[in-house]
Structure formats: C-alpha cells, structure tokens
Amino acid sequence: MSKLSDVERIKSDSGNLRGSLSESLEAAITGALADDDTQLSKFHGIYQQDDRDIRAERKRQKLEPAYSFMIRARVPGGLCTPDQWLNMDRVATRYANGSIRLTTRQAFQLHGVIKRKLKQTVAGINQAMMDTLAACGDVNRNVMAPPLSPNTRVYKAVQTHARELSDHLTPATGAYHEIWLDGEKLPTPDVEPIYGNTYLPRKFKTAFAIPPQNDTDVFAQDLGFIAIVEDDELIGYNVTVGGGMGMSHGEPATYPRLADQLGFVSVDDHLKVGEAVVTTQRDHGDRTNRKHARLKYTIDDRGIDWFREEVAKRSGVELQPPRPYTFVANGDAYGWQQDEDGAWHYLFFVENGRVSDVGERRLLSGLRAIAELGTGEFRLTPNQNLVISGLDDAARLEVSELLATYGIINSDWASALRLNSMACVAMPTCSLAMAESERYLPDLVTKLDAAMRDAGLEDDAITIRMTGCPNGCARPYIAEIGLVGKGPGTYNLYLGAGFAGDRLGCLYRENINETDILAALAPLFKAYATDREPGEHFGSFCIRTGVIREVTAGLNFHGAVA
C-alpha cells in the first residue's frame, strides 16, 4: 500500500491541530512558522504567505521573505451584522493591509498580517462572534447559502439549515481557543465525533442553492443542496456530490468536475445525509495523494451508485429520485429589490471582492458609514459582492445617498461584462499563483469592453472569470470566458461553459498573452452579436457554432484543443 501523504503525519502528530503553533508564534528570529505548523495553521483559518513582489529583492538583501499571514473568517451563509462589519473594518485597518477581501465563498479574508500581530488579529475577529476556525484545512469549509431570495420564508429556512450544517460539521478541538484566545488547556483530549483525529483527506465544501439562481455554484461543491419548493414551501433538497474545480497543468489525472445528483431528501434529513457524505469521504477518500484526495475522485473511482448506497446505509435515509428545478444564472442579481415582507435589499458589485478606498470609489469608508447607521444586515455573496439587506423605506433613502456619495452604485460605472467578472487573489500574496489575476482582470475587462461595444454587446451579460493558477478559486471552468494563469502574463482560455454554472468550459487557446486573448475574443463577440439565437448565451453559442467542443463530464474535460 502506498504511503500516507506528509500532511497526514502532521495531522495525526498534531494533538488535534496544536502542533507547536504557540512556540512558533513566540519565535522572534523569524516572521514564519515552523514548517509543520504552516499546515496546521490552515485549520485555524491562517495561511502563511510572503510578498512575492519583493521575494527576489529580499533574498539579495540576505533577509528572509517578507512573511505575512492571510486570515480567513468564516461567515456561514454570508450573513454579517453591521457591528460585525465594523469590527472587521477595525481589525483590517489596524492589523492587516487596510483592505477587506470578500471571497468566492462568502467569507472574509485579511491579508498582510505579520506574525507579531497574529494573535491580536484573531482575537479581534472573535470579539464580534466571528471565527476563523476551519475556514481552511481538511475539513468542511464555510457553508454557502443564497444571500437573497424573493421568497423570505424559503430564504430563512435555507439559511437556517446552512447554519445548522455548518455548526454540525465544525471541528470540536479546543486547540483554537487555547492558542488564539488564551483559553486554558482542557485536561481531557478532545474527541472529533465526525472527523476523528486525522480529519478529512482534503478540503470539503458545501453550498445550498435556491433555484432559479445558482449564485453559489452548487455544482462546484463537494456537497450541494438544491432547494425544492412547492407552493412557496421548502419541501426538501436535491443533494449533489462530487463537484470541484481544482486541477494541475499537465496532469490529466486532475480535472474540474461538476457534481452529480445523489437524490432528493426531505427537509429534516439534510443533516443526516450531509454527515453521511462527509464520513464516507473521510473513510474512503485517498489519503496518499493530495492531488487525488477530493470527493470528486473518490466518486469517479468507485462510481456514484456505490456512493449513493454507502450514504443511504450510513444515514439511514432513503434517497428519492431528484425533483425538477431550473437554474438561469450563476451570477448575482444586482440592484435594489424588495422581498415579500417589503424589506429592501441592494446588491452591488465589489470588483474582485476587494473592499478598499481607491480613487472616487471609496468602498471601505462608504460601507463604514452605512454600517454605522446600525440598521439592516451585510450579506456577502458567492460572487465576491455585497448586499445591504433588510432596510425600511427611510433606511433605503439614507443608504442610497451614502452609496452615491461614496461612488458605490454599479450602473454608474460597471459594464455588464464587468458585473459578471470575477478574479481570484493571486499575486502578490498567493503562494501558488503563476500569473496575475485580481490586479490584472480589471484592465483586461476595460479592453474587452471596447470589443464588446464594437460588437454592440455593451448590455449583454457574459460571465468571465480569471484565476492565477489552475486551482480555480474563482471557478473559471464554469464561466463562459475562463482565463487560467499558466505563467507570467500568459493564460489558458476556456470557452463553452454554461451561463448557469451547469456546464464546464473547454480549453480553447493555451498559454496566450493579452494580445492573443483580445484577438481570440473580438471576432467571437462579433459573431455572437450577429448569429446568436434569441436568449442564447455566449457559452452555448460557442458550442452550437462549433467554436468549441462540449464538455459533458469532468472525465472528458481534457480533450484535444478545439
């Protein structure tokens, strides 16, 4: 039998994720953690990084890399109170790089926190009843749920279920409080009822979705729950399993995969089934090869039927055939909307989720001002955007004024293409980045906007997503235009994905630079403008007109370049 991956050793030696983290934090001679601890810190929501812009310079200066830490705070369902927002703002400006990063999983990220400030920062985050535990690591990550739905009752029920599942799957270890909040060490060793002491073979991700919106990209998740509504009532969920984006260049054994439908379960069974999916992966997932450890590979290796039986056995729940539903889009529904109860919500665009004050768009200050009103709710969307929620008519007026004052109103500046764009963080913090992403996509979109205008498409929504490497953090393989970093300044271009996140894209051009990207897309825009059928989206158009091969399953994602 092949040998366990090194991370497995680290996990089991760690004493439920303690390792030597406390000592690592004390060590004054380096800004880094001990090697093993850099793996463990992830379970606590903390990633060691270094400023890659000056990595070479520091080496010449005989200085260690400029280490700093990225901290991810969990926000189940993306719900956050004005107080919590203000607290995050305080922490970000005090200890981090002065910006708040909204992620593609409805969570917060802070960048640039140095080791000396790490404890204060984590403590600061916890002050507002928010934590970073299990925001990363081989456990269930932040559980996603739709930030909005016209049907308030359904919305609330789904949010509640998401929260329940999140709590149910949160690690029980006391290490977190011990290390970061100076809680005292419990005499009894912790038991992890669901995970056991080696946790999961790999990260695990869960999302809920309420059709017709697929904003949470439920098919990109290890575990998904599609709300089934009859006569305005939530009756249960279609459970999906085995979704995932990540792959590695030049390794066909790794591939993005869309989730399979496992079956329908009624409302009160979602916890049992969710847990069964997790424990099945815990016991059968590949612990020898981290690149083959996600649930999607377990399922392709053993077959969905085997998996379905296993889950049914473990949960004692009988899985019925999936119920019908329709998804129309995996983007966000922007603008003001009023729910059944008359409450107002404004969903607005936060470019690449970066909340900071740049030029005339002063998001950080603007949102601070809005939060200080103390009304309503801040909801993070799965597309790195934000909703100011639950406002009465008076509050709505105040908020709209502030939005205007701080230049935060979408329609004032962002094209339809931009509103449907998303980029991962990448340089300079992400250690895995091969190319720019967050810092580059906005410029590229500006250039593509021109081509869109030439084609007369300025008001047409095409989803475009960029990542700095094939891990797919911005879910590029389910964007109609997917750009995946290959090397400095060069990207792979994927086309043909479904507008609703229901079909994978396919490699169209490999390793191309900006000029080639523009040259490749401009003519396609023109053709799309003239030859599309009514209501046809760009991705579907590319397949119908033979621009690109249709990818029907993860296993045939890697094919000859079309």
Partner 1 sequence: MSATAPSLPFPLSNEQAQRVEDAFSDLDATQLQWLSGYAAGLAAGAVTAQTPQAAAGETWTILYGSQTGNGEGIARRLADDARAKGYTVAIKSLADYKPSSLKKETLASFIISTHGEGDPPDDAELFHEFLLSAKAPALNTLRYNVLALGDSSYVNFCQTGREFDTRLAELGAERLTPIVECDVDFQDASQQWADATFDALPTPSNAASVVPRLRAVPDQPTFDRDQPYLAEVQAVQRITGRDSTKAVYHVELSLEGSGLHYTPGDSLAVLPINPPALVDELLAVTGVDGAATITLGDEAVELRSALQTRLEITALSLPFLRAWAELAGDDWLKNVADGNDKDALAKLIDSHQVVDILRRFPANVDARSLAGSLRRLAPRSYSIASSLDANPDEVHLTVAEVAYEAFDRPHWGSASTYLGRRLTEGDRVAVYVETNTRFRLPENAAAPIVMVGPGTGVAPFRAFVEDRVEHDAPGRNWLFFGERNFDSDFLYQLEWLRHLKQGALQQLDVAFSRDQEEKIYVQDRIRENAEELVRWIDDGAYIYVCGDAKHMAPDVHDALRDVLAAQRGIGTDAAEQALKDLRQQGRYQRDVY
Which residues are known to be catalytic? 72, 141, 203, 205, 424, 430, 469, 473
Q: Are strands 357-358 and 361-362 parallel, antiparallel or unpaired?
A: antiparallel
Say which entry of ligand SF4, partner 1, ligand SRM, none residue 44 contacts (CB below 5 to 8 A, set by partner kind). none
Angle, CA 293 vertex, CA 290 and CA 296 arms, to 5°: 140
Q: Give the number of residues in contact with partner 1, rule: CB under 8 A.
A: 16
Instruction: By CB under 6 A, tell whether 143 contacts ligand SF4.
Output: no
Q: Which of 490, 497, 469 is nearest to 557 (CA)?
A: 497
Helices 295-302 and 270-284: angle between axes, nearest 10 degrees: 80
Task: State whether residue 505 is helix, strand or coil.
Answer: coil
Interface map 395-434 toward ligand SF4 (x if CB under 6 A): -----------------------------xxx---x-xx-
Closest distance between ligand SF4 and the C-beta of residue 137, in Å?
Answer: 15
Q: Which is nearer to ligand SF4, 136 or 226 (CB)?
A: 136
Per CB under 8 A, the list member of 63, 172, 519, 555 interacting with partner 1 is 63
Instruction: By CB under 8 A, tell whether 58 contacts partner 1.
Output: yes
437-456 positions binding ligand SF4, by CB under 6 A: 437
Closest distance between ligand SRM and the C-beta of residue 201, in Å?
Answer: 10
Give the interface segment with partner 1, choosing from 58-66, 173-181, 201-209, 431-439 (CB under 8 A).
58-66
Say which entry of ligand SRM, ligand SF4, partner 1, none residue 469 contacts (CB below 5 to 8 A, set by partner kind). ligand SF4
Closest distance between ligand SRM and the C-beta of residue 518, in Å?
Answer: 24
Per CB under 6 A, the list member of 16, 68, 467, 540 interacting with ligand SF4 is 467
**DSSP label of 345:** E
Using a CB cutoff of 8 Å and minimum separation of 24, what contacts does 508-516 make?
A: 508/547, 508/548, 508/561, 508/562, 509/561, 510/486, 510/561, 511/486, 511/487, 513/489, 514/444, 514/447, 514/489
Say which entry of ligand SF4, partner 1, ligand SRM, none residue 142 contacts (CB below 5 to 8 A, set by partner kind). ligand SRM
CA distance 443 to 429: 19
Give the interface segment with partner 1, choosing from 26-34, 149-157, 257-265, 467-475 (CB under 8 A).
26-34
Say which entry of ligand SRM, ligand SF4, partner 1, none residue 503 contacts (CB below 5 to 8 A, set by partner kind). none
Closest distance between ligand SRM and the C-beta of residue 144, in Å?
Answer: 7
H helical segments located in 169-291: 175-180, 270-284
Say which entry of ligand SRM, partner 1, ligand SF4, none residue 245 contacts (CB below 5 to 8 A, set by partner kind). ligand SRM
Closest distance between partner 1 and the C-beta of residue 96, in Å?
Answer: 15
Instruction: By CB under 8 A, tell whether 64 contacts partner 1.
Output: yes
Q: Which is nearer to ligand SRM, 16 or 429 (CB)?
A: 429
Q: Which is nearer to ligand SF4, 203 or 537 (CB)?
A: 203
Q: Which is nearer to ligand SF4, 49 or 238 (CB)?
A: 49
Per CB under 6 A, the list member of 473, 483, 500, 507 interacting with ligand SF4 is 473
Per CB under 8 A, the list member of 19, 31, 77, 124 interacting with partner 1 is 31
Cis peptide before 428 (omega within 30 of 0): yes
CA distance 478 to 262: 21
H helical segments located in 14-48: 21-26, 35-43
Closest distance between ligand SRM and the C-beta of residue 507, in Å?
Answer: 17
Say which entry of partner 1, ligand SRM, ligand SF4, none residue 468 contacts (CB below 5 to 8 A, set by partner kind). ligand SF4
Helices 514-531 and 441-454: angle between axes, nearest 10 degrees: 40
CB–CB of 211/266 below 8 Å? Answer: no
Q: Hey, which residues does 507 pair with through a beta bridge? A: 494
Give the interface segment with partner 1, choosing from 59-67, 72-80, 256-264, 502-510 (CB under 8 A).
59-67
Region of residue 419 (left: phi > 0; alpha: psi -120 to 50; beta: else)? alpha
CA distance 94 to 461: 38
Q: Strands across the sheet with 108-113, in order?
A: 46-50, 67-73, 108-113, 100-102, 354-355
Instruction: By CB under 8 A, tell whether 34 contacts partner 1.
Output: no
Instruction: Give exposure, 365-377, as e/b (b: 16+ Cβ within 10 Å).
Output: ebbbbbbeeebbb
Q: Which is nearer to ligand SF4, 399 or 473 (CB)?
A: 473
Helices 393-405 and 363-372: angle between axes, nearest 10 degrees: 160
CB–CB of 136/43 below 8 Å? Answer: yes
Instruction: By CB under 8 A, tell whether 510 contacts partner 1.
Output: no
Instruction: By CB under 8 A, tell whether 57 contacts partner 1.
Output: yes
**DSSP label of 440:** T
Backbone angles phi, psi at 21, to 5 degrees: -55, -45
Q: Which is nearer to partner 1, 94 or 302 (CB)?
A: 94
CA distance 277 to 283: 10
CB–CB of 536/544 below 8 Å? Answer: yes
Give the interface segment with ligand SF4, choosing from 58-66, 114-122, 363-371, 461-469 (CB under 6 A).
461-469
CB–CB of 515/530 below 8 Å? Answer: no
Helices 304-315 and 295-302: angle between axes, nearest 10 degrees: 110
Instruction: For the beta carbon of residue 254, count every other beta carbon within 10 angstroms.
Output: 23
Closest distance between partner 1 and the C-beta of residue 29, in Å?
Answer: 5
Per CB under 8 A, the list member of 1, 29, 394, 560 interacting with partner 1 is 29
Footprint on this chain of ligand SRM (rule: CB under 6 A): 47, 49, 70, 72, 103-105, 107, 109, 135, 141-142, 202-203, 205, 217, 220, 244-246, 294, 353, 384, 424-425, 429-432, 471-475
Binding residues for ligand SF4, rule: CB under 6 A, are 424-426, 430, 432-433, 437, 467-469, 471-473
Binding residues for partner 1, rule: CB under 8 A, are 28-31, 54, 57-64, 66, 114, 116
